[in-house]
Structure 1
Amino acid sequence: MGIFDNIMKKFNGEDTKKSKERDEKAAIPKDVEKSVKALKEIFMDCDDIVYREFSVGEEQEFKMALICIDGLSDKMLINDFILEELMHAARDTKPNGESVKSRLFELTKRGTLAVTELKETDDLNEAITSILSADTVLFVDGYDKAIIIGTKMWPARNTSEPKAEGVVRGPSDGFVETMRFNTALVRRRIRDPRFKIKQKRVGVRSKTDIAVLYIDDIVNKDVLKRVFDRLNDIDIDGILESGYIEQLIEDNVFSPFPQVQATERPDTVAAAILEGRIGIIVDNSPFVLIVPATLSNLFISIEDYYQRWLVSSLVRGIRLAAGIMSFTLPSLYIAITSYQPDIIPTRFALAIAGSREGVPFPAFIEAFLMEITLELLREAGVRLPDPLGATIGIVGGIVIGQAAVTAKIVSPIMVIIVSLTTISSFIIPNYGVTTGFRILKFGLMIFASVLGLYGIMLGIILLLIHLVNLKSFGVPYLAPFVSSKARDFKDSVVRFPISTFIYRPEYLHVNNKKRMKKMSLRNKYDYSSGRNEE
């Protein structure tokens, strides 16, 4: 056992010192020139760093230095409300009682700077991180502290409609790559002081800003603690997208299914937080993470709640059927044509046999070739520019499919099955679930080619065993179908009227279980008298 542990430690790099040690606290020199010199050594060959040294005061001159990054900081704010105030308004400051120099730092921080976001620090490393985060740092001669001024103004795109989660009815705004814009989009929807936004930085080198969103009196504290513990355990050079965080905090890295929900829609995040879930916003990413995630939630679109319950229930049933078809149709074709043709009507079996006449490959190879071809076309459509991608997807599919049938490489029924499989996968709202089914589809095809229908049954049983054991932050992945109460089924395969959603999901184990007042399904009204019936 000891030998195995040593091997695993060497494999994981645990027997050596951490290659990335977190910065320790460093003191700020009282001399401004020493502070600037230290920063110039740290930021050597960083030509986008701006150093502005100047003096204030009329009778006495006091040295100050301002450091920011060109292109990330707001120059207008720095020039008009920081430098101008310091270099002109501060000249009128006269000695009063004690010398100005002894209280210059407080005068500068409290009475001179016309900005909203100010913070002081005595840690040079914190000042450096603030500079790299687009803030401006002001050093005052004779003080071992620095003033951090919020001047973030980096390039950012405007909010636009989400590309991956389009709706017919609902808001059209979507998240962008700027974290503060994204928190504002959610805050606009939840105007409650108990709605908390806790910010932290992750990444030894990137120091990426991350915000954890939750409602304090609703959220399950155990789940919240797990989220913060897993975020604190991350020790990596950089976080470039929320996909990094998703993979580093999920329960089972070997599962093909996402255990963290990713969305571009602010209303989806707001609805999840009101339900008792937790949102995680990562700077530089338009995809916000929601935990815990369940399979039923990943099949639900936020638009389901904007339409009448009968329409939403019908659409959810179609989605569920499409999800099953997306990974079972090719396997059923292989099993029926190769092993059990007698389970379908005779005329249909003869039609399939006639369509496969002249095809030199067995059903498994035929299905495998077509599925691989469709996957190639799908990826080509994603990577190419939008106009070319649409052309490749449509024209490529038609031309290649027709050419393959004409050349007797595949049968026409195989083209229909592959097309239905692809269309079914597009109906699933969550792209991560679609990707999981795409992977399982090939595994189920192998089972079907070896054991026929028995192989499909075996594959589905193994899949169910995996899903039953899968959890997301302690919540069963198949909830509410397991470990839950009957009332949670009101928002699963069938969506009941919203007036019946009195309680939050039981499987989340939230603190505040009730979310609305009980009301009747029908308002009785006497139209003849214009009064409510007693």
Structure 2
Amino acid sequence: MSPWGRKKRIQEQNNHVAPAKTGQPPQTEWPELETDSPSLKTRLHWFKQRFNNCSDIIFREFTLTSGENCAIIYFSGMIDQDSLQRFILQDLQTEASESATIYKALFQRKSLSVSNYTITSDLNECLTHILNSCATLIIDGDKRMINFEVASYPTRSIEETPNESIIRGSRESFIEDLPTNLTLLRRLLKTPDLKTESIVVGRKTQTPLVLAYIEGICKPELIAEMKRRLSYIQIDGIIGSYYIEEFIKDNPYSPFPQVEYTERPDIVIASLLEGRAAIMLNGTPVCLLAPVTLYMLMQSPDDYNMWFIAGSFIRLIRYLFLLISLLLPSIYIAVTTFHPQMIPFPLLITIASAREIVPFPVVYEAFIMEITFEALREASIRIPKSIGQAVSIIGALVIGTAAVQAGIISATMVIVVSVTGIASFIIPHYDLGLSVRLLRFPIIILASMFGLYGIACALIFIYIHLVKMKSFGVPYLSPLTPLIKEDTGDTFIRLPWTFMRTRPSITSNNRHRIAKNARGWSEPKGENE
């Protein structure tokens, strides 16, 4: 059993927490109504107690022309006032004047202009609808209450994401509004097989999320496992996507990301077509994708929007600089400290002369420059964007030049750390780049203690860890470890689409991706339709 499974099994046995039902809000601790009376006054009193000291709640009482007393409850700023006035209140008055009883007009004739509404007699359910930007209508003498979905609140316009820039491709990105994000998917993926199951998480925030997948392509056991893990999320509030990620990933103590995230609809659609599942959360533009492998994290949309040879070359460059970002400072420390005979003599003289006036060992130089570079990188994110680029680039050059002139740092170490920092920016996935940056420090320590042997031991430990890791049952290094030959066409290089005629077997059920009459198709020997 995986660490995630053992942890959840122990938690379930100790706490006896029942999983939340899919598509329903989590259980809340609202006080029950003391009486089952359909009185408008009694129910309004209950709602006013629940929303005590809430200055933005509106209780609007009115009387219809037929004589019934009514009230409508909603939060100011969360609904469309024009729709409330024109399509609800005016229609109510019109139907009340034409019908002997408003109950028949509302519940039998269904003559209101607003089509999205639900009818319930449960006060707790109505309270949840109000919190979810609905307007609730209460009629005196009838237990049934109508919840109108007339939500309207400020949202950000659809723009290009600054975190995933590409040269050629779509410029659309997700925003913080979940219905808008679902619309972006539906507009590009026109198939009824796209399923979007709604789940509510967070006892206080009651945040809606959607589990999206393509039926017939995504494996049913993956969906069942994701639902199981999501059902055990018992927390007061879900503010961002990482709250979900930390609860559902297999190994919470691994530095490597086990769930991919993106703000681009085209990446989500490409992942769904490969049999993966997506988690879209209301209130954040970030969409989670699972399962994920190391090779998926090294892919970029530009790899598929250019000539396959150029895309393969850039991807190989990416892997090269991944190793440089992880190992270059450690190799420099190991070679200069323990294995100087490996360096050509002219270069060795140059390095020795540059370090002649430096008072610190080379490992101290590396730590000083690495920490300084990380501080400048973090400062460039936190300060205003207008001066952030100046701090990250000019600040590094000025500090590095001053440190070399002062004799604190050697010029060679400045070059090594600068190349290492630039290499970390080439990694497409930010969390993977962060993992490499974190692992760089223990490898530097091992290199300063044992030389190249320490680096070799560190790489062995990292490889063993990666081999043991899984993301929702999928090996982290697949399809190379274990080897699946038919899935290796999109790992270190990208083959032409006509050669990648099947989907990855690790994530999909229906493997046929390209039709027989497509250019370059050849029927696989021994493979059934």
User: Where does 1:297-446 land on structure 2 (aligned, <5 Å)?
Assistant: 297-446=296-445
Report deviation, 1:24.
6.5
Give the residue type in structure 2 aligned to 1:30: P
Answer whether contact 2:95 2:102 (CA < 8 A) is retained: no
Q: Do 1:69 and 1:131's aligned partners in 2 also have CA atoms closer than 8 Å?
A: yes
CA distance in structure 1 between the partners assigned to 2:152 and 2:127 by the alignment: 17
Deviations 1:242-295 (A, max 9, x none): 111011111001000110001010100011001100000011111100000111
Structure-2 separation of matches of 1:458 and 1:337 = 19
| CA distance, structure 1, for counterparts of residue 212 and residue 273 of structure 2 | 11
Partner of 1:530: none
Distance verdict in 2 for CA 1:223–1:14, change over 3 Å: closer
Is the counterpart of residue 57 in structure 1 residue 65 in structure 2? yes
Indicate the residue corresponding to 1:48 in structure 2: 56
Report SS of the residue matched to 1:490. coil
Structure 1 pair 520/279, CA: closer, same or farther in 2 (3 Å)? closer
Q: In the alignment, which residue of structure 2 is the partner of 1:121?
A: 120
Mapped partners of 2:290, 2:238: distance in 1: 19
Alignment partners' CA distance in 2, 1:432 and 1:397: 23
- Distance of 1:173 and 1:417 partners within structure 2: 37
Q: 2:46 aligns to what?
A: 38
Q: Show the counterpart of 1:72.
A: 78
C-alpha separation between the residues in 1 aligned to 2:246 and 2:201? 14
> How far is 1:503 from its partner?
0.8
Letter in 2 for 1:73: I
CA contact 2:95–2:105 (8 Å) conserved in 1: no
* CA deviations over 1:313-344 (Å, ceiling 9, x no partner): 00100110111111101101110111011112
The DSSP-based 3-state class of the residue aligned with 1:438 is helix
SS in 2 for 1:376: helix
Distance change >3 Å, CA 435–CA 64, structure 1 → 2:
same
1:90 aligns with 2:77: no
Give 1:466 shift: 0.3
Distance in 2 (CA, whole Å) between partners of 1:401 and 1:312 is: 34
> Which SS does the other structure have where 1:137 is aligned?
strand
Amino acid in structure 1 at the alignment position of 2:27 = R
The alpha-carbon deviation at position 105 of structure 1 amounts to 4.4
**1:145: Cα distance to partner?**
2.0
Structure 2 match to 1:183: 182
Q: Secondary structure at the match of 2:498?
A: helix
**Within 2, Cα distance between the matches of 1:195 and 1:205?**
30
Give 2:181's aligned amino acid.
Answer: N
**What SS does the aligned partner of 1:65 have?**
strand
Is the 1:57–1:90 Cα contact (8 Å) retained in structure 2? no
Residue in 2 that maps onto 1:240: 239
1:23 partner SS: coil
Retained in 2: the 8 A contact 1:73–1:152?
yes
Residue 511 of structure 1 deviates from its aligned partner by 2.1
User: Match of 1:23?
Assistant: 28
The whole-number CA distance in structure 1 between the counterparts of 2:291 and 2:242 is: 16
Q: Secondary structure at the match of 1:506?
A: coil
Q: Tell me by how many angstroms 1:146 deviates.
A: 1.5
- Corresponding residue for 1:196? 195
How far is the alpha carbon of 1:198 from its aligned partner? 0.7
Gap change, CA 1:395 and 1:46, over 3 Å in 2: same
User: Is this contact kept in 1: 2:498–2:520, CA < 8 A?
Assistant: no
Q: 1:191 to 1:371 in 2, by over 3 A?
A: same
Shift of 1:17: 9.4
Unaligned runs of 5+ residues in structure 1 are 1-7, 524-534
Whether 1:132 and 2:131 are equivalent positions in the alignment is yes
Task: Give the CA deviation at 1:483.
Answer: 2.7
Contact 2:218/2:275, CA 8 A, preserved across alignment: yes
Q: Report the 3-state secondary structure (helix = DSSP H, G, I; strand = E; otherwise coil) of the residue aligned with 2:173.
A: coil
* Gap change, CA 1:133 and 1:262, over 3 Å in 2: same
Aligned partners of 1:264 and 1:91: how far apart in 2?
A: 48
Kindly report structure 1 stretches of 4+ aligned residues shifted beyond 3 Å: 11-18, 24-29, 518-523
Secondary structure of 1:114's aligned partner: coil
d(CA) in 1 for partners of 2:89, 2:125: 22
Q: Indicate the SS of the match to 1:290.
A: strand
State the distance in 1 between where 2:488 and 2:123 align. 55
Letter in 1 for 2:495: F
Partner SS state of residue 252, structure 1:
coil
Return the alpha-carbon distance in structure 2 between the equivalents of residues 427 and 405 of structure 1: 27
| TM-score, normalised via structure 2 length | 0.91
Deviation at 1:102, TM superposition (A): 5.6
Identify if the C-alpha distance between structure 1 residues 395 and 522 changes in structure 2 by more than 3 Å, giving closer, same or farther. Answer: same
SS class of match (1:499):
coil
Native 8 Å contact 2:74 2:136 kept in 1: yes
Classify 1:205/1:288 alpha carbon distance in 2 versus 1 (closer, same or farther; 3 Å).
Answer: same
Q: Residue 161 of structure 2 corresponds to which residue in structure 1?
A: 162
* AA aligned opposite 1:92: S
3-state SS, counterpart of residue 380 of structure 1: helix
Q: Residues 12 and 383 (structure 1 numbering): CA distance in 2 closer, same or farther, change over 3 Å?
A: farther
CA distances 1:404-448 after superposition (whole Å, capped 9, x unpaired): 101111111111111111111111110010010010000110110
Q: 1:527 maps to what in 2?
A: none
Supply the AA of the counterpart residue of 1:42: R
Residue 226 (1) aligns with residue 230 (2) = no
Contact residue 121 and residue 144 of structure 2 kept, 8 A: yes
* Alpha-carbon distance between aligned partners in 2 of 1:17 and 1:520, rounded to the nearest angstrom: 54
CA contact (8 A) 2:205 2:238 kept: yes
Note the C-alpha offset of 1:92.
3.0
Q: Cα–Cα, structure 1 residues 202 and 366, in superposed 2: closer, same or farther, change >3 Å?
A: same
Q: CA deviation at 1:507?
A: 1.6
Q: Report the residue type matching 1:297 in the other structure.
A: M
- Letter of the structure 1 residue corresponding to residue 250 of structure 2: D
Q: Which amino acid aligns with 1:67?
A: I
Alpha-carbon spacing, 1:172–1:520, altered in 2? closer, same or farther (3 Å): closer
Q: Decide whether aligned partners of structure 1 residues 29 and 496 sit closer, same or farther in structure 2, where only a CA change above 3 A counts.
A: farther
- State the Cα distance separating 1:16 from its structure 2 match: 7.8
Distance 1:353 1:517, change over 3 A: same
Separation in structure 1 between the aligned mates of residue 483 and residue 330 of structure 2, nearest angstrom: 33
Separation (CA, whole Å) in 2 of partners of 1:359 and 1:315:
38
Give the equivalent residue in structure 2 for 1:513: 511
Normalising by structure 1, we get a TM-score of 0.91
Aligned residues: 504
SS in 2 for 1:498: coil
SS in 2 for 1:213: strand
The CA distance in 1 between the partners of 2:305 and 2:39, in whole Å, is 62
The secondary structure found in structure 2 opposite 1:500 is coil
Partner SS for 2:61? strand
